[in-house]
Amino acid sequence: MPVYSFHGGIHPPENKVQSTRLPVDDAPIPKHLVVPVLQHLGMAADPVVDVGERVLKGQLIAEPVGRISVAVHAPSSGRVIGISQQPVPHASGLEAECILIETDGQDSWCEHQGLEDYTKLSPNELIDFIRHKGIAGMGGAGFPTDVKLHLGDDHIVNTLIINAAECEPYITADDTLMRIASEEIVGGIEIIAHLLKPHHIIIGIEDNKPDAIAALNIACRESNLAIDIQIVPTKYPSGGERQLIQLLTNVEVPSGKIPADVGIVCQNVGTLAAIYDAISTGRPLLSRIVTVTGDALAQPRNLRTLIGTPFSTLLDYAGIDRSKMSRLVMGGPMMGIPVTSEQIPVIKTTNCIIAATAEEMPPTAPAQACIRCGLCEQACPAQLLPQQLYWFAKGKEFDKARDHDLFDCIECGACAYVCPSNIPLVQYYRFAKSEIRNEELEQRRADHARARFEARKQRLEREAEQKEARRKQRALEAAAAQAERRKALEMAQAKAASDTSSAQAPSESLTRALATQSLNSDLESNTTSNTTPNAVPDIKALKVAAALARTKLSKAQKALKNAQDKGLEGSEALAATVAILSEKSEAAQINYDKAQALEAAEQSKAPSETVQTAAETVANNNHDIKALKQQVSIMRTKLKKAKASGEDEAEISRLVERLDQAQQQVWAVEAEKTAQATAQGIDLKQLKIDAALAKAAVTKLDRAINASESEDERSKLSVELAQKQETALQLSQQLARFE
């Protein structure tokens, strides 16, 4: 098979021999394991254990959440001593949620069992099995393996590429794995081939790994699959997914696409070995091979390490001389990140720890101004424009950086490696990517909030429409009920009129009713005479009428003054209106004064007469509750004075009897008034409430007019005031019929 090439790339010193001189060994079980719940790309797993709970090796301690997530298992047996924020291996240096396990040294397994024949399972069942065994990509960002395998019907896989290049200097973890576990790797290839059904399987490996190449050749010959082992020249970063695809197939993955979009799937050799182990034995991903190297170590080597093991445990096992160590790096020298704490734990993507001396990795020289030499563009394997991206990131022109395919940058560090100005280009690219992701997150949140707001607005509008419809329906029903009551009242009045005309002499109660109606009619027409000589005027109604007349007159006078001051048209009409309202106000006040005088004359009569019976009082006073209550008050005062002055028992008994008779009259009249109102379909209690509310509304509008500074607003309020005054007058007159 031909080997193609990709743009750019560099040839840094390999430094791989140091860690391959000694055989792979098992790292010691640490006293405490720190297991992050997020060791992969996507959503963090959710802890399912409690503090103080004892766990066994391989037991599920955090279950996956969401589509892109994998499970996390206990790397060894022991007791959960905490679930808290701890430092984790990340470029940000921030803390993340971790499960702390105090190991018991027994390394006791929980029950586990592999699949007897995985070919009998459906693809979805097999992929779910891999998901719940906690397997994620072990060569890069830790992308969940089940997501990479669950492509759907819209992706047809033509080529399966196994990434065995391991191009970065110092790292030999995959090289060691291929030497000691080539059969497991080929077994994992067979499982993936069963799921994806590729037409072609290629193992891409650099030519600096002869022992691994030999081991893979032997294992592939024993497989039933046609697997091609393609040896590629040593060049960094040939282990990048897109670069390896281009080397082996000459296919370039378009910007913004994934390899599956062009019919290719890539898997790392470490991931394949973990899949085979999970399917054949049922063991989840609990450990991995980690390269521990650097000139500050006495014995650089590869160690089979439990997930969650602190870096300090591995460094001590490899003979660290901390007096020589000047820098601690997780990963390789090109894409690795410096760490400041040795308590950071190993995770599923930790492939190397470098304890470097000052001579080995000297301090970075200060950055200088860009000289626009173009070396970064020549070295970029993604065919980007690193210099332009640097300017955009530095100037926070993130939209332009995105348009120049910033997210195609694999952060390999080749551009920074060749930069003569020592500019930390990758750091600028990481900053720009982070800011863009934050902006996108904020935009998604804003869109979500906007959608919720619009939904709430529509819901409130629907509720308002429904409320208005119900209000209109109630108004129609109330109007219909009012019409029925009015009709019944008219029929009752007609019947009463008929009975009165047939009688020889009208009853006193009917005379009182006719007099009250005539008085109300007179108030409307501003006349001052009563239709019936014996009728007693309703002082309360007359008082209300006089007050309303004065209010109308006052408003009209203010409007006239305002029109005259401003020279507005219509002043003559307003003056005529003021004159008419003045006459009405004087007439109403005269009626009220006459009624007061008449009431005073009635009350000044000699009280020595015998108190009338309840029936006589109702007839003579036309059920005037106010007069009856005044009579009760008078009797109570006389009784109190008689007791205070020492009157004889006979006089006191007589006054007590008269007080009791007066109180009985009040109760009788009140009962009759309530019965009359009920018979006419009127709720007397509600009528009183409505009258009081109407009066309060008139007062409120009057104050609002006085406080308003806008002429238009005062005019509008004056119209509303006139309507409210009319309503208040009608309610007061209606209530006066029963008081």
Report whether pLDDT(535) > 70.
no
Compute the C-alpha angle 8/368/417, nearest 5°. 25
Question: Band of the pLDDT at 54, cuts 50, 70, 90?
Answer: very high
Phi (first) and psi of residue 446, to 5 degrees: -65, -40
Report whether pLDDT(677) > 90.
no
Q: Which residue in 303, 249, 358 sits closest to 1, CA to CA?
A: 249
What pLDDT digit, counting tens, does each position of 381-403 carry? 999 999 999 999 999 999 999 99
3-class secondary structure, 391: helix
Report whether pLDDT(508) > 80.
no
Question: Strand 227-232 and strand 200-206: pairing?
Answer: parallel
654, with CB counted inside 10 A (0-12, 13-18, 19+), is middle
Question: Band of the pLDDT at 686, cuts 50, 70, 90?
Answer: confident
Q: Cα–Cα distance between 244 and 202 in angstroms, integer?
A: 11
Q: What is the mean pLDDT of residues 292-309?
A: 96
Q: What is the mean pLDDT of residues 552-573?
A: 73
pLDDT, residue 178, reads 96
pLDDT, residue 327, reads 93
Question: Band of the pLDDT at 516, cuts 50, 70, 90?
Answer: very low
Q: Tell me what the pLDDT averaged over the chain comes to.
A: 84
Q: What is the mean pLDDT of residues 331-335?
A: 92
3-class secondary structure, 212: helix
pLDDT, residue 611, reads 39
pLDDT, residue 660, reads 80
HSE, CB side, 13 Å, CA atoms: give it for residue 536.
Answer: 25
User: What sign does the dihedral 694-698-700-701 (CA atoms) show?
Assistant: positive
pLDDT, residue 582, reads 76
pLDDT, residue 174, reads 95
pLDDT, residue 51, reads 95
3-class secondary structure, 404: coil
Question: Strand 32-36 and strand 46-47: pairing?
Answer: unpaired
Residue with tokens 């509310």: 693
Report whether pLDDT(540) > 90.
no
**Per-residue DSSP letters for 266-305?**
EEEHHHHHHHHHHHHH---S-EEEEEEE-TTBSS-EEEEE
Q: What percent of the chain is modeled with pLDDT above 70?
A: 87
Q: What percent of the chain is modeled with pLDDT above 90?
A: 54
Q: What is the mean pLDDT of residues 328-352?
A: 92
Q: Cα–Cα distance between 531 and 104 in angstroms, integer?
A: 112
Report whether pLDDT(515) > 60.
no
Report whether pLDDT(517) > 50.
no
Q: What is the mean pLDDT of residues 125-149?
A: 88
DSSP structural state of residue 505: S
* Residue 675 parent element (H or E): helix 649-679
Q: What is the mean pLDDT of residues 434-441?
A: 91
Question: Band of the pLDDT at 450, cuts 50, 70, 90?
Answer: very high
Report whether pLDDT(81) > 50.
yes
Report whether pLDDT(707) > 80.
no
378, with CB counted inside 10 A (0-12, 13-18, 19+), is middle
Question: Band of the pLDDT at 546, cuts 50, 70, 90?
Answer: confident
Q: Which of 562-566, 639-643, 644-648, 715-719 has the highest mean pLDDT?
A: 639-643
The residue that leads in pLDDT, 528 or 114, is 114
pLDDT, residue 610, reads 40
pLDDT, residue 592, reads 72
pLDDT, residue 694, reads 82
Q: What is the mean pLDDT of residues 644-663?
A: 78
pLDDT, residue 521, reads 40
HSE, CB side, 13 Å, CA atoms: give it for residue 93.
Answer: 6
Q: Which of 20-34, 104-118, 215-229, 473-487 has the lowest mean pLDDT?
A: 473-487
pLDDT, residue 428, reads 94
pLDDT, residue 404, reads 93
Report whether pLDDT(642) > 50.
yes
What pLDDT digit, counting tens, does each position of 57-71 carry? 999 999 998 888 999
Q: Which of 208-212, 466-470, 583-587, 727-731 has the lowest mean pLDDT?
A: 583-587
Report whether pLDDT(150) > 90.
no
Q: Cα–Cα distance between 575 and 148 in angstroms, integer?
A: 91
Report whether pLDDT(412) > 60.
yes
pLDDT, residue 504, reads 39
What pLDDT digit, counting tens, does each position of 205-229 carry? 999 999 999 999 999 999 989 999 9
Q: What is the mean pLDDT of residues 579-593?
A: 75
What is the token pair recorded at 685?
A: 């209690």
Peptide bond before 233: cis, by omega within 30 degrees of 0?
A: no
Phi (first) and psi of residue 313, to 5 degrees: -65, -45
pLDDT, residue 512, reads 41
Alpha-carbon distances of 283 from 76, 86, 352, 621, rounded to whole Å:
12, 27, 23, 105
Q: Which residue in 111, 110, 99 sits closest to 62, CA to CA?
A: 99
Residue with tokens 């990517």: 433
The residue that leads in pLDDT, 482 or 127, is 127
pLDDT, residue 507, reads 40
Alpha-carbon distances of 367 from 46, 416, 423, 440, rounded to whole Å:
43, 11, 5, 31
The CATH number given to 17-357 is 3.40.50.11540
Question: Band of the pLDDT at 466, cuts 50, 70, 90?
Answer: very high
pLDDT, residue 153, reads 63
DSSP structural state of residue 408: G
pLDDT, residue 670, reads 72
Report whether pLDDT(528) > 90.
no
pLDDT, residue 620, reads 45
What is the token pair recorded at 559?
A: 């409007």
Q: Cα–Cα distance between 341 and 94 in angstroms, integer?
A: 12
- Predicted model pTM: 0.63
Looking at 66-179, which runs of residues are DSSP E strands? 72-73, 78-87, 95-103, 159-163
The residue that leads in pLDDT, 507 or 350, is 350
pLDDT, residue 600, reads 59
pLDDT, residue 493, reads 66
DSSP structural state of residue 318: T
The residue that leads in pLDDT, 289 or 40, is 289
pLDDT, residue 634, reads 84
